[in-house]
Amino acid sequence: MSDMRCAPKRIIVTGGAGFIGSNFVHWVVDHQPDVHVTVLDALTYAGNRANLDGIPEDRMTFVHGDICDAALVDQLMVDADAIVHFAAESHNDNSIIDPAPFVRTNVEGTFTLLEAARKHGTRFHHISTDEVYGDLALDDPARFTEDSPYLPSSPYSSSKAASDMMVRAWHRTYGVDATISNCSNNYGPRQHIEKFIPRQITNILSGNRTKLYGDGLNVRDWIHTEDHSSAVWEILTRGRTGETYLIGADGERNNIDVLRAILEAMGKDADDFDWVRDRPGHDRRYAIDSTKLRRELGWQPKHTDFAQGLTDTIQWYTDHPEWWRDAKEAVEAKYAAQGQ
């Protein structure tokens, strides 16, 4: 399949001021010169208007609003060819402390968007996570595929699983033109410093000791956010309606190896970190098989050198202390209160 089945000129990106969403907006503006983007973002703690700095005013409209606001969503959908739904509460630790915002945003918010897409006939692409599949054993050679059963283990992943099921149901029952992508762990610029890689980088830049959960052997499948963005565009414009595509770049690494790579890249001893108690229900291993995406749409990741991607990411946080410095103290205080 090579020809575009959908060539949108005006797209809505929910959560477009967050980490992965803002990187997608930048990617679209850089690679699709005839596309206008409307960003809808509630600017919760994880959203940052500064993430969209540098985008020309004629290419993007920013709307500060809530995806649960049905009237606002309906109004925006009137002029849109497609919607790419990134907006989500997404941090596992936060979902364990208070699951309520995850149900509201991830379930009710997705419902609100689907109803508007149904009314206006808008192409709908839903961004999900590999965490809906639960986890794999460390010694299991298997990887997640589109046919893997849903076995979510946290309030976060269960709320994402619910939203995925709704997208499928709205496609089947109402004919909504929808696709889903489930992606592995993203890294790169503009990621909130509560997340694993930027937390370690900013700890070192701040003169703090880095910290590692549990035994450090938990495996994550890392993908650079630019590769995620290019894959989402391929699925949005060429994916088969009603289908799910897994996005991954064969980047399996355990947490202790990633932490040690960061320490060494920043001139520190590889063992210069503290062990902290593990997260409840901490998934052991995620691994993505993206064969379907590569076979059907011809997508390939470009950022396949993880060490180089990590170096570039470290450089971004080093060069942009004004972006993260104000939030650092509060983030670490919250973790300290949890013993992490």
pLDDT digit string, tens, across residues 26-64: 999 999 999 999 999 999 988 999 999 999 999 999 999
Give one DSSP letter per residue of 220-257, joined into a string. Answer: EEEEEHHHHHHHHHHHHHHSPTT-EEEE--S-EEEHHH
The pLDDT, as a whole number, for residue 278 is 78
The closest alpha carbon to 236, from 221, 225, 248, 247, belongs to 247
Active site residues: 130-131, 156
The pLDDT, as a whole number, for residue 277 is 81
The DSSP call for residue 107 is I
The DSSP call for residue 91 is -
The closest alpha carbon to 249, from 313, 197, 294, 308, belongs to 294
Q: Mean pLDDT across the chain, nearest whole number? A: 94
Q: Helix H segments across the chain?
A: 19-31, 70-77, 92-97, 100-102, 109-120, 155-174, 196-205, 225-238, 255-265, 291-297, 306-319, 321-337
Question: Could you identify the residue written with the tokens 């590999």?
Answer: 130
Q: Which amino acid is at 60?
A: M
Report residue 340's pLDDT band, with 50, 70 and 90 as the boundaries: low
Return d(Cα 253, Cα 156) in angstroms, integer: 22
The DSSP call for residue 79 is T
Give one DSSP letter per residue of 251-283, joined into a string. Answer: -EEEHHHHHHHHHHHTT--TT-EEEEPPPTT--
How many CA atoms lie within 13 Å of 115's alpha carbon, on the beta-carbon side? 15
pLDDT digit string, tens, across residues 287-332: 999 999 999 999 999 999 999 999 999 999 999 999 999 989 888 8
Of 1-10, 19-28, 84-93, which gets the smallest average pLDDT? 1-10
- Averaged pLDDT, 81-95: 89
The CATH code belonging to domain 10-192+224-250+284-303 is 3.40.50.720
The pLDDT, as a whole number, for residue 164 is 98
Neighbours of 254 (CB within 10 A): 17
The pLDDT, as a whole number, for residue 3 is 61
Domain boundaries, the chain: 10-192+224-250+284-303
pLDDT digit string, tens, across residues 94-153: 889 999 999 999 999 999 999 999 999 999 999 999 999 999 999 999 999 999 999 999
What residues does 124 pair with on adjacent strands? 83, 178
Of 116-120, 160-164, 283-287, which gets the smallest average pLDDT? 283-287
Checking if the pLDDT of 2 tops 60, the result is no
At how many degrees (to 10) do helices 306-319 and 196-205 cross?
Answer: 50
